[in-house]
Amino acid sequence: MRTLFLGDIVGRAGRDAVLEFVPRARQALALDFVIVNGENAAGGFGITDDICHQLFAAGVDVITGGNHSWDQSAIIPFIEQEPRLLRPLNHVPGTPGRGCGIFTSRSGQKVLVINALGQVFMDPIDNPFLAIDGELKKVRLGATVQCVVVDFHAEATSEKMAMGHYLDGRVTAVVGSHAQVPTADAQLLPNGTAYQSDAGMCGDYNSVIGVDKEVPIGRFLGKVQRARMVPANGPATVCGVFVQSDDVTGKATFVAPLRDGGRLRPDWPVPP
């Protein structure tokens, strides 16, 4: 099975790049399943139902979220009735929406996607390790599902690495999001789980993590800033992680970063 995870979409530049890229990548890489993190897709803050519909129409199978999932209040009724739009699993009970779901790939495999939020340097939230444990008890990799992908939306690389090793052998892939800079540590962990600390963002890298440079630079200089942060709108780089896995075991057999367009050096996976 071939799965692609794309990191945080930031603003219109990121949206447009992903909408153009996904149909092309599905064909070029013979993708079975595509996941994107969309929590910054609407002007850099949250996501809307219209954006979700555009992404689904382009070939995205599941959209994950993070700490900005609720920035657009109108998304709440939509997330309640759209199972393909996830929010972090480890919110308190009663939070609108779902933190995970089982979906069917284009080639017929069952795919469990889990979205969880980190605790380190983030707002208080329930333990993501225990929350994911609870969901994994309901399935068996290679039997009830052929693939399990975890989007761990977290700040600290140490927490992300700990999650990767904690889940090694129990899931197909653990991919970090939120930091919005692609890391160089794509690897197969000892027990067969694909891992990368952060997929990077889909947005304009001539920016401060996707935001137009002037306001954040001014804040770091201690200047009083009345302007709100807005996404940079130059040419965007699409960043993500490609994972190939065995349909029988559900274990990953190949993992590689993906970058396309914009300012970063292109890097397309060459699976065996």
The stretches of 82-187 forming alpha helices (DSSP H) are 128-136, 157-167
Q: Of 244, 253, 249, 213, give the one whose Cα is nearest residue 231.
A: 213
Region 198-206: what's the mean pLDDT? 98
Percentage of the chain modeled with pLDDT above 90: 95
pLDDT digits 0-9 by tens, 213-243: 999 999 899 887 777 889 999 999 999 999 9
Contact 86, 103 (CB under 8 A): no
Region 243-250: what's the mean pLDDT? 97
Q: What is the CA radius of gyration of the chain?
A: 17
The matching CATH number, chosen from 3.30.460.10, 3.40.50.300, 3.50.50.60, 3.60.21.10, for 2-260 is 3.60.21.10
Neighbour-count burial of 266, counting CB atoms closer than 10 A to its CB (0-12 exposed, 13-18 middle, 19+ buried): exposed
- Catalytic site positions: 68
pLDDT of residue 225: 72
Region 185-198: what's the mean pLDDT? 98
Confidence category of residue 46, pLDDT binned at 50, 70, 90: very high
pLDDT of residue 227: 78
List, in sequence order, every beta strand (DSSP E) within 144-218. 147-153, 173-177, 187-188, 194-196
Q: Where are the domains of the chain?
A: 2-260
Give the integer Cα–Cα distance in Å for 150 and 24. 24
pLDDT of residue 242: 98
pLDDT of residue 68 exceeding 80: yes
pLDDT digits 0-9 by tens, 70-99: 999 899 999 999 999 999 999 999 999 999
Q: Give residue 72's identity as a one-letter amino acid code.
A: Q
Region 25-51: what's the mean pLDDT? 97
List, in sequence order, every beta strand (DSSP E) within 56-109. 62-64, 100-104
Region 64-71: what's the mean pLDDT? 94
Confidence category of residue 47, pLDDT binned at 50, 70, 90: very high
pLDDT of residue 105 exceeding 90: yes
